[in-house]
Every structure is written in C-alpha cells, then in structure tokens.
Amino acid sequence: MNTRLWFEKFGSQVRGVFWSRTAQRIKVVLLGRSISDGLLAKLILYLLLSIVAYLYVQPILYMISTALKPLSDLLDPTVKWIPRVVTWENVTTAIKGLKYPEALRNTALIAISCSIVQVLICAMTGYALAKLTVPFKGLITALVIMTFLIPPQIIIIPLYVIYSKLSLLNTIFVFLIPAIFGQGLKSALFILIFRQFFKSQPLSLEEAAKLDGASTARLFFGIMLPLARSACLVVFLFSFIWYWNMYYEPSWFLSDNFTPLSIRLDRLEDVLNPSLLGQRNTIDNPATESSKMAAAFMIILPPIVVFMFLQRWFVSGIERTGIVE
Amino acid sequence: MKTKEILRQKRHFHSKRYGIGLLFMLPWLIGFCIFVAIPIGWSIFMSLHKVTVVPGGFKYERFGMQNFKDAFVVDNIFPIELITYIQQMLLMVPIIVIFALLISLMLNQRFPGRFIYRAIFFLPVIFATGQVLSELFTQGAGDIPFLEQYDLQPMVEKYVGLQFATTVMDVLSRVVLILWYSGVQILIFIAGFQTISPTIYEAVRIDGASPWDSFWKITLPASIPFISLNVLYTIIDLFTFPLNPVLQHIRDNMFKIDTGYGYASALAWIYFAFIFVLIALVLWLFNRSMNARRNRS
C-alpha cells in the first residue's frame, strides 16, 4: 500500500519533470532565439519542418508519379507511389495534346516581356510616389491600392470590349499594353514594393547626385534602379510566375491560336478525348488522368527551373528590399 | 518687382518639379484611366441595366436597382454561395496566417540546410495559382487521408454545430491546398522579422527572459503590422481563389441569356462590397489594437 502510494507520487513527479522539460524544449524550438541549445530542439525543428515540407511536396510527387504510370498501374490499387512500369507515353501524349513547343513559346513570350515591362514601369511609378513631387500624391497612392482590390471579374467585360475595339484580342498586346501603362497583373503590389524600397533610401544620396548635376532621369536610371537590384529581381520573379500561371484573363482575351499553357491544360481533356466533348463532369477520367498530370508537371517545370537558379538571390532579396514597412 | 521675379522663378521651379514627377507617373495615370476607371464606370452602368448582346454591340435597358434586388430575391443560389464562401474565408484566413507565422518562425532560425527548406516553402508560390492547382484538386492530390480514415465528420458536427460543420469539413478537406496559399505570407513574415533588431532579443535575454517570453513580448507585438498586412493579402488572394464558387456563379451568369452581363456585373459588385466590408473591418481592428498599444507605452 505504502509502496504503491510512494510509487505513484514518484511517477507523477518524474512525469512532471519530464513534461516541463519537453514543454521547455518545444518552446525553445518554436520560439527560441537561442536555438543552439540541445540536439532535441533541432531534431523537433527538423521533424516539424519535414512533415510540413512533405505535405508541400506531396502533390508534386503525386504529379510525377501519376505522369509516369501506365493505365494499368493507375487502376491497380496496390500501386501507390512507384509505378511497376515507367512509361513515357503520357508525356508524349501531353506534349502532343498541348502542342507544347508552341504553347511554351507563347507563354514564355507573354511572361518574359510583360514582367520586364512591369519591373521598369512599376519602378518608375514607385519612385515617383516615394521621392518626386506629384500633385495629389496621397490620392494617387490610394488609387494604386484600390486597383489591387478591384477584382478582375468586375472589369473584364468592359476590358474585353475595349480590346476588341482596338483589335488587340488574340495578340500579346492584350497584356503588354496594360503593362506598359502600369496596369499589368498585380502591378499595384509591385508599385508599393518599389515605393517602399525607394522610401527607405537616404535622401543624402539624391542630394549628392543632384549637386553633381545629375538630372532626375539620370539619377533614376543610373543610381536608383541599379540600387534596387534586389527589389527588381523580386518583382521580376513574382511577375513572371503570375503571368506564367494566369488563367482567367487569357481565357477571355486569348482564344484562337495564341493561347498559353494554362488554357491548353484546361482544354486538354477535350483534345485527348474528343468524344466526350462538352461533358465537363467526367473530369476524373482515368484514361487521361496520367496525361493531364504529365501536362501539369510540364507546365510548372520551367518556372521551377528558373526559381531553382534564382532562389538564393530571391530570398535574400526579399529580406533586403524591406517589402514590408 | 523683385518679389514678383522670385515668385515667377519659384512657380517655374515648382512646375518643373511637378513636371518630372508627372512624367514618371504619366504611364500609370493614362493606364489607370483607360484600363481601370473607364471599365469601372462602365461596369457600374451595366449593373444598373439589363444588357443584351445584339449584333454589333450591346443593347441597354434601364433596370435601376432591379439587378441587385434579383440577386437576393430571385436568385436562390447566389446568396447561399456568397455566405458559404465568406464563412469559409473567415476560417481559411486565420489558418493561413497562423500557419505562415509558425512556419516563418521556424524558418527564421539558424540551422544547417535551411535554404533547402526555404526553397520548398516558397515552391507553392510558383504554382499555387492557376490551372495546375485546380487540376490537382479535381484529382484529389491535395487530400489528406486521415479525414476519411478517422471519420471526422460526426466529431466536427458535435463541436461546431450542424450549421458550420459542412463549412469546416470543406475547409479541412482542402487544407493542403489552403496551406499552399501561404507562400507569399511566409515571405512577408520572414522579411518582417528582419526588421526587428536582434539587440532587443539580446537585451531581454540578459534580463532573464525565456524564448517564450521574448516571443510574446517582442516578436508578436512587433509583427502585428505584418499580421495585418498578411490578413489583408490573404483576403484579397482568396478573393480570386480559382476554386471559388461565387466567381464561378458570376461567370455562369454572364453567358446566360436571361441574366447576361448586367446581372453578372451586379453580382460582382455585391461580392466586392462584401469583401470590402471585411477588409475595412480588419483594418479598423488592427488600427485600434495598434493605437491601444501606442497609448499604453
């Protein structure tokens, strides 16, 4: 009796100590600045991150695995991740169905040209809002933020009519011209990023340049823009990716031959399976699932490659631009 | 005479400075008028009319507020979808922001190989938009298996009530895709943490604060602006979520003969109004909390 009581007490004490320790460790892992203490802390950190990373990567793995499966493996419930036979047939079907080289060219053309324009125009606008004297600056800044809030669904029909009047439909200019006039995809966000960056630059720099006789244009293109390298990279990458992936606008403005990858992915089912045309309910048709996954993977492959090359600068760029106040 | 001369020079100087600023702003201003202001005005005009497509253009019929009334009285799908989606958003926004906060706290630590992890967590930024996402979603690649395995539905119903159970289950069933939507938010948080001076942490550590304390006393209060920024960004981002039933409904109505562009525009404006109220509410709340903090210190 006595021993049992003692035992329980001892047990609860041990448990108490144990729990308080663990809690402490978890606290350190989650919130600590001094991460260097203890292997356990690091292990838990790695474990947590790995679990979430797995959740993140899993759909991509699913994409790859499904893309390489033949139909028999796809229907076989015992085959989960690794196909019995790796087949490249789906990939070739997808390339044919998407008309990949042509669509890739279209998408790349839109994404690269528009994002370069975006960088330049948004930098100019952001600079004007940050450093130059512009009448009604506060109002204009509010309008910039407002353009970010206006959903494309509200203005898409008028835009469609405007573009068709200007006979721009089915050309790259549908995206290039708004971008030139500072109304590209999410341009408001980029303008604000640049505004923030230029605001954080010291005034003395400009004054020094002005004293040396530099004009505003010279100051901007010669000094400010090169200084904003990291902001430019961040804006370029975001803009590139968003233009690459955009679906809604092209689904309105580009319909004939000049279509990007996202539209062709959406129509892939109809292309691969013309007999089912119009029956959108049969979306998870197993016969074309693998090809569609292959197509989806090939669409995101180019941005992933670009991102892998640039990510180191990208991340450090984000940290240095002071995107946030 | 002399003062006049100075005034003239001053005006000249000002107009020159204004001129350069305007020159820099000019593309944006023109673009705003053509590609934003005119379409918005037109869209409001259309929402007040019954628009029918006739050969060579549109035919407008005065309709007054009828479109807006119809949205709530005649249309029996739109109000339900709107309310459901806003409910879902109210659940999704905190999930995304809190998740992004936790992940960015972890990624902000110094440990070997963190570049690899960072790369992975920014990966969704690449394809969490657009068609690839909805393709994945229709094929169920974003599902998490435990939802069906453990049959969570009755439990959820028990805790949150029948009314919200479907909302909660909907959100849970696509939680992976929702987490994918936190790429940009993680970036914003990480960038935000860089603005907190490390000397503060050192100072409180010397004063004997535990990491737990320093999180609640320093990191969290300092990140309130970034939290508000992220909440706003998330709301705007979810606003055009590709799997959004409201947008689908608006799009469907554009091509229906009996409703058409006028009605669709009205629906879009109603949707916008709801989101706008939500954004205003968030801004007001954060402003208040910031002011309260400032007054206390």
pLDDT in tens, A174-192: 999 999 999 988 899 899 8
Handedness of CA B204, B207, B210, B216 (dihedral sign): negative
How high does pLDDT run on average in chain B?
80
Q: Model confidence over A119-128: pLDDT tens digits?
A: 999 999 999 9
DSSP-assigned letter for residue A274? G
**pLDDT, average across residues A132-144:** 89
What pLDDT, on a 0 to 100 scale, did the predictor assign at position A31? 52
Q: Chain A neighbours among B 61-100 (CB < 8 Å)? A: none
Q: What CATH code is carried by the domain that includes residue A164?
A: 1.10.3720.10
Structural domain total, chain A = 2
Per-residue pLDDT at A248 exceeds 90: no
Q: Which pLDDT belongs to residue A185?
A: 87
Higher pLDDT, A324 or A293: A293
Report which of residues A176 and A287 the model is more confident about. Answer: A176
B117/A53 CB distance under 8 A: yes
User: Does residue A45 sit within a domain?
Assistant: no
DSSP symbols for B250-262: HHHHHT-TTTHHH
> Torsion-angle region of residue A38: left (phi > 0), alpha (psi -120 to 50) or beta?
left
- If asked whether residues A26 and A105 sit together in one domain, one would say no
On the CB side of A230, CA atoms within 13 Å amount to: 17
Confidence of residue A325 (pLDDT cuts 50, 70, 90): very low
- What's the rounded Cα separation, in Å, for the pair A285 and A283? 5
Asked if the structure places residue A9 within a domain, the reply is yes
For residue A30 the two structure tokens come to: 């989650």
Say what the pLDDT of residue A106 is: 92
Domain boundary among A221, A240, A266: A266
| Residue A36 binned pLDDT confidence (cut-offs 50, 70, 90) | very low
Q: Do A55 and B176 touch (CB under 8 A)?
A: yes
- The pTM of this model reads 0.82
Please check whether residue A6 lies inside any domain of the structure: yes
A312 inside 8 A of chain B by CB: yes
Residue showing tokens 């929702």: B178
- Band of residue A34 on the pLDDT scale cut at 50, 70, 90: low
Residue A231 lies in a domain: yes
Of the candidates B17, B179, B265, which has its C-beta nearest A157's C-beta?
B265
Residue, of A53 and A24, whose pLDDT is higher:
A53
| Residue A284 pLDDT exceeds 80 | no
Residues in B touching A28 (Cβ below 8 Å): 211
Residues 18-77 in A contacting B (C-alpha not used; CB under 8 Å) = 27-35, 42, 45-46, 48-49, 52-53, 55-60, 62-63, 66
What is the average per-residue pLDDT within A38-58?
80
Say yes or no to pLDDT of A35 above 50: no
Could you give the CA distance from residue A27 to residue A40 in angstroms, rounded to a whole number? 12
Cα A234 to its chain centre, rounded Å, is 11
pLDDT band at A28 (very low <50, low <70, confident <90, very high): low
CA distance B104 to chain A (A): 10
Domain limits for position A234: 99-266
Statement to judge: residues A25 and A162 lie in one domain: no
Whether A39 is covered by a domain: the verdict is no
Q: Mean per-residue pLDDT for A304-323?
A: 73
- Would you state the pLDDT for residue A33? 46
Please tell me whether residues A145 and A8 are part of one structural domain: no
CB-based contact B130 A151, cutoff 8 Å:
no
CA-based radius of gyration for chain B: 25
| Residue numbers in chain B where pLDDT is lower than 70 | 1-2, 13-17, 56, 127-131, 139-158, 160-163, 242-243, 296-297
Pick from A62, A178, A319: which is nearest to B141 by CB?
Answer: A62
Closest-CA residue in chain B for A265?
B131
Residues A24 and A115 in one domain: no
Q: Are residues A151 and A258 in the same domain?
A: yes
Query: Within a domain: residue A159?
Result: yes
Q: Which of A266, A283, A307 is the last residue of a domain?
A: A266
Helices B183-194 and B78-107 sit at what angle, rounded to 10 degrees? Answer: 40
Unique residue bearing structure tokens 């206006």: A150
Q: Does B261 touch chain A (CB under 8 A)?
A: yes
Is there a contact between A56 and B123 if contact means CB atoms under 8 Å apart?
yes
Whether A297 is in a domain gets the answer no
Separation between Cα atoms, residue B100 and residue B189, nearest integer Å: 7
Mean pLDDT for chain A?
Answer: 81
Q: What is the dihedral of CA B232, B93, A50, A59, to 10 degrees?
A: -100
- Proportion of chain A above pLDDT 70, given as a percent: 87
CA-nearest residue to A248 within chain B is B130
Q: Where are the domains of chain B?
A: 1-62, 69-295
- Residue to mutate among A28, A33, A134, A221, with most B CBs inside 10 A, is A33
Q: Are residues A24 and A103 in the same domain?
A: no
Q: What is the mean pLDDT of residues A8-23?
A: 74
**How far is residue A16 CA from its own chain's centroid?**
46
The rounded distance, in Å, linking the Cα atoms of A171 and A259 is 9
CATH architecture of B69-295: Orthogonal Bundle (1.10)
